[in-house]
Structure formats: structure tokens, C-alpha cells
Structure 1
């Protein structure tokens, strides 16, 4: 039975033996996963903590709690049922920070003072999860109200440029994409020159796949090369399915994250559409994976040419500042994933003709606008319709 049915049948579970049994099985699986997450966090952040008892509780008004007297770490069942697992992990890390203050620092303080924030730094707890209540809705939506007026103005300009990218005039579309690259470089330069503080965040993407497809690694390469973000592939538990899937985490500044998130989903949804059109017109048997690799290779080359064209003389002197900005992002990634291992991926071609066809289309592929405004606040980017 689907666990969603178990969740919605909470009242029935108390009267139906089958529901009650399935619900206990579900709770046991979740608890075992939380123990695995606890051990992994200790390993990742080199934290020598004695494992406490972990409990999932119901009917409480808090998301998580550390109880030092009985050494119990508890999480709200509603948190697990209603929110993504990466959000659950951040709440778990919040409570582990409390445990660290009590046991590693041997401090009597139980609030959210300097020692607690020191512990949060150690476990790289997300900014939204460091407060007493934890703004979980912010974690879900990556609330764009966090954008400064300057960031919002840049995004609005990018939207107009992407609109030009729809033009059938190839010269006009090419100039628009070059301007996006130039604008992105100048934006970084001005913020760094003025010593404007940059805040970093992350977005987790999971398609419920057990294997990372080759084209996903190529999309990740495009984002990290041209859109000022870094990416780490990971595994993410799904509480509903009670299994782990492959996921990727985008990390960068708030503005860059929103643009990269849009580009990622645009490319992810565009590939099968272009494949269907290619397959209908190919007149022969063709290989989908090779076509995808060709598309993304061509698109990568297109962006590379545009990036070089966008680098003007007055921006070349800003490379030292941009390098510093990259170092700050690298530090943010290292803090969140201190034991990450970089690996190179080699794509295997099975159909060179499909690859070459895809590459030609990739060099002409245009991003569509997907930034939306509503009630004065920029919303999360979604792929535009073609």
C-alpha cells in the first residue's frame, strides 16, 4: 500500500490492524534512516558525538528537540510526512548542534546563543534552520523576497534578454545571450568592487532516479561553467517511497541559484522534446543518449563562445575580484560537504550521427524566459513554454 494512503488514514490506523502494522513499519524505517543520517553527519563533519536515542513524535508543537537529561533527539512526524528529506536533515543537524553544545562543549546553555551558532557553523546548518522556530517554508520555496532590490533589477533585465532569445533572428538571439553573459560578469564585478556582502544558499534537485544519467552530469557541467554555481551529486532519502534516490545540490548566491535553477529545469524538460522531434525526422534508428550528449555539447560550445565574446577589456581587470568570489563559494561548498570527492565523467557515444545531429541543434538552442513576477516578488524560476 502506498504510504500516502497510510498517512491520510491516520485515524483508521488506530482501528485497523493492517494500517497499524504498516504505520509501525513506516515509522521504524524512518527512524533507522535518521540513525544513518546521524552517523553520516558525524562522519562528514568529524564530530565525535555519542549516539543518542532518536524518536519520531506526534502531536507536538516543535519540529525537533534535544533532551539532554534522557539523551533523546526527537523529530516531529509532520516534518517527515510533509517536507522534503533534505529539510528533515537540516532540522536534525540543528538538534545535533544543541547536543554538541551540551556534550562536546560541556556548556549548560540551552538556547540559541553564540555557542549554539558556533556548533551550527561546525555542522554547516542552513541559515533558515538556525533560529528557534526554523523558517521551513523559506527552505521549501527559497523565498525570493531575500533578493535585494539590486538583485531583483538584474533578474528583470535577464528576463528581457531571454525574451529576445526567442527571436527567429539568429543574430538578435546571439547578441541577447552574449549580453546575459556580460551582465552576469559586470554584476559580480560591481558587487565585489563595492565589497557588497554575498549570501550563499543551496537548492536540492531530485528526479527519483537510482542512477545519474549522463546528460544530467553534462547539464551540471554547463551550470558550474557558465552560471556561477557549484554542484555536488548526492543521495536523498524519500520518506514516502522509503528508499534513497540520486540527487544534486546547487550552491551559489541567491541570484545565481535562481537563474541556474531555471536553466537546469529548462534543459531537463527540453531534451526529450527535441529528441521526439529528431526521432520523427531522422528517417532511421537513432540513439537517444548520444543525441542528448550532442545537444548539450553543442549548447556548451555556444555558451563558451558567447562568454568569450562578452568578456570586454574593462572587465578583464576584475578577474582578481571574481576569483575571490569563487573562493568564497568554494569555502561554502567545502563547509557543507567537507568530504566531497570530485570525479570526472566520460560520456560513451553509441551513435555518432545522432551525436552530430544533436550538436548542431545544441549550438542553435535558445533559452526561453521563465522569470515571473507576482505581487511585487520574484517567484521561483520555471521553464518557459516553447
Structure 2
């Protein structure tokens, strides 16, 4: 079989997957459309198009081969929105209010609603470089403190980490008070695995509890391997997503290192690894809870207002985030991250180790601005 034949067969499978995605979008948002012909072509001036005469959605080959599947889905949704305008609204308009209404119907992300989608708009390594000046100021403050948090003096490091938590929490609360209308974003982590490790699930549960984001488990199609792998979508405001992303990679690497040290020092069997690592995450969770309660008390004391109701503000913010998440996924179901059975002694040792974790060095300042240093899956 020559290369062109192999490529043709590969794209045939991709098109089959696109039809599955198309059907799922219709099911998810309860819309009835005539199923179009979907093709992949060498488009040079557009990412996709909808042809109402031939009832065809065309997608760019470059889009399929060079961008993540979540980007492909958004471009597919963009063209489906045009189809909605044609078939359901009986209009031939372009990117006007009817098109925006159609985008709302199937939750097309705002940056994918433009008439022309620039390559940069679809950045495959979506890294949110255009953080607001306020976000950058907050993150630079955090950077300086996190340098202190690497101190060999445990007391100094702990105080620095407490201050980081306080600044981060205060920053979010101030934004909530201002009714900051910053748009929510999505960031995807693809695991290239069929199953999400249970330790990762525990880390994400902790992240959702402490970092003003929602975590959605799903699957992402890999056109090269013709397989769908587990993925996680982090939904929230840009600065919160970046902090959540860092915390995930930090804890993922940290629990592995702590286990290797623990195993080496005690010659411990590998069967106790999961119990120990779950304990580490629970210990770190309890440490964050304690810090957050203290930070909230400090914030309350520093804000002179009879109308200030912190629990109500936080609840209101999470309501906005949850409503946005529900709009993206109207048939969303919840996933439990219960501890399951563990070996109590090793879980307890892990919990003790987790309480000693100091969250340090998520970002590094460069001349061009702020960059982040997450690890890898």
C-alpha cells in the first residue's frame, strides 16, 4: 500500500469519527439537523466551510493533522452553527446575530465564532499568553514568594507558601467583588491512556476544591493512532487554569518522588504505593484547607464593609462557573473520587508526608512576560 492510499484510509477513519462527533453534538444540545456530507480537503484560506446547496461540511487537512482534537471539534461546531442558521432559522446570513445565537445553542467557544479564524487563535499549545496586566502582577508577586518557598529553612518556606495562598485567594475574591466579567476558558490535558490513574483523579478533585475551576473527564480522538484516549478539561478563568495546570503536574511528580523515597527508606512493597500516594494527596488537601480558613479570616479583617459576605461571594462565583459548565455540557454527570480501600498504615504515612508539601516554583519570569513550567504526563 503506497503512502497516498494509507493517508486516504486514515482520513476515512477520521471522517467516521467526525460523524460520531456530529451526532453526539446534536444529541447533547437537542438539535435536529439533516446529516451533511463531511469531507477533509486541502483548504488554503479557511479552516472549514458549510455549503447549504450541497449540504456539505468541509474541514481543512492541516486542521486535522496539526491541531488537537478539541480544536477540530470547535471548528466543526462553527460550521454546524452555519448549518443551524440555514436549516433551522431559514436564513443565508453570515456571522450576524443569528449565527451568534446558533453558536450559543451548541456552545461554540467565543474565540471560534469569528468570521476568520487566525492560526494563532487556534494555538495548538494553547497557553494563554495574553494574560491581563492584573493577572501578570499577581503572578509576579507569587513568583517572588515561591522563590522564598524553596528555602532550606522549613519555617521560612512555610510562611512564604502561606503568603502565596493568601495572595492567590485574595486576588480571586477581589475579582469576584468587582463582578469581573472575564470569560471562562477551557484547557485540555490529554493522557494518551485508556484509563485515568486513580491518583490523578484524587489530584483533580483537590484542584477543583481549591483553585476556582471545574474538572471535566472526557475522551480525545488521536487521528494518528485511530484511538480515543482519556482527557481532562479544566474550565475557569485564565489565571486559575494556569495555576490548576501547574498544581496537577507539580503534585503528579511530587507524589511519585515521595513514594520512591519512602519505598527506598523502608524497603516497602509496591502494592502499598496507591495507599501511600492517596494519603499524600489527602494530607496536602488538609493543609490547604487549614491555610484557606486562616487566609479567609485575614481577608475578612482587612476588608472594612458590613456588606462583605465571603461565603456568599464564593458561592456566587462557583454558581457562575457551574452554570457555564452546564451550558457546555447539558447532560453532565458527576464522578466520585472516593478513597476506596487502602492499607491504613501506609495511607497514614502518606498523609503525614502530604502535610509537609510546599507548593513551589510554578512560574518563571522572562523578558517577554510570564511563562509557566509544568511537567509532562
Normalising to structure 2: TM-score of the pair?
0.92
Match of 1:303 in 2: 288
Decide which of 174, 177, 193 is 2:161's aligned counterpart: 177
Match of 2:143 in 1: 159
- CA shift, 1:194, in A, is 2.7
Decide which of 133, 136, 139 is 1:149's aligned counterpart: 133
- CA shift, 1:283, in A, is 2.0
Match of 1:6 in 2: none
Normalising to structure 1: TM-score of the pair?
0.90
Decide which of 336, 346, 367 is 1:344's aligned counterpart: 336
1: CA distance, partners of 2:230 / 2:81: 27
- CA shift, 1:59, in A, is 4.5
Match of 1:5 in 2: none
SS at match of 2:124: helix
- Contact map agreement 1:261 1:381 (CA 8 A) in 2: no
Match of 1:81 in 2: 65
- Contact map agreement 1:214 1:347 (CA 8 A) in 2: no
- CA shift, 1:136, in A, is 4.5
- Contact map agreement 1:163 1:368 (CA 8 A) in 2: yes
Match of 1:115 in 2: 98
Q: Is 2:255 the partner of 1:271?
A: yes
- CA shift, 1:347, in A, is 2.9
- CA shift, 1:84, in A, is 0.7
Q: How does 1:233-382 map to 2 (within 5 A)?
A: 233-286=217-270, 287-312=272-297, 313-314=300-301, 317-382=309-374
Match of 2:204 in 1: 220
Unmatched segments (≥5 aa) in structure 1: 1-16
CA RMSD of aligned residues (A): 1.9
SS at match of 1:338: coil
2: CA distance, partners of 1:184 / 1:341: 30
2: CA distance, partners of 1:124 / 1:212: 26
- CA shift, 1:264, in A, is 1.0
Query: Structure 2 vs 1, CA of residues 215 and 198 (structure 1 numbering), >3 Å: closer, same or farther?
Result: same
1: CA distance, partners of 2:356 / 2:116: 48
2: CA distance, partners of 1:106 / 1:151: 43
SS at match of 2:46: coil
- Contact map agreement 2:149 2:160 (CA 8 A) in 1: yes
Q: Is 2:21 the partner of 1:18?
A: no
- CA shift, 1:320, in A, is 2.4
- CA shift, 1:352, in A, is 2.8
- Contact map agreement 1:204 1:249 (CA 8 A) in 2: yes
2: CA distance, partners of 1:86 / 1:124: 13
1: CA distance, partners of 2:312 / 2:5: 61
- Contact map agreement 2:39 2:59 (CA 8 A) in 1: yes
- CA shift, 1:380, in A, is 4.0
Query: Structure 2 vs 1, CA of residues 339 and 175 (structure 1 numbering), >3 Å: closer, same or farther?
Result: same
- Contact map agreement 2:43 2:59 (CA 8 A) in 1: no
* Partner deviation per Cα, 1:31-68 (whole Å, 9 max, x = no partner): 00000000111111111111111111125321111111
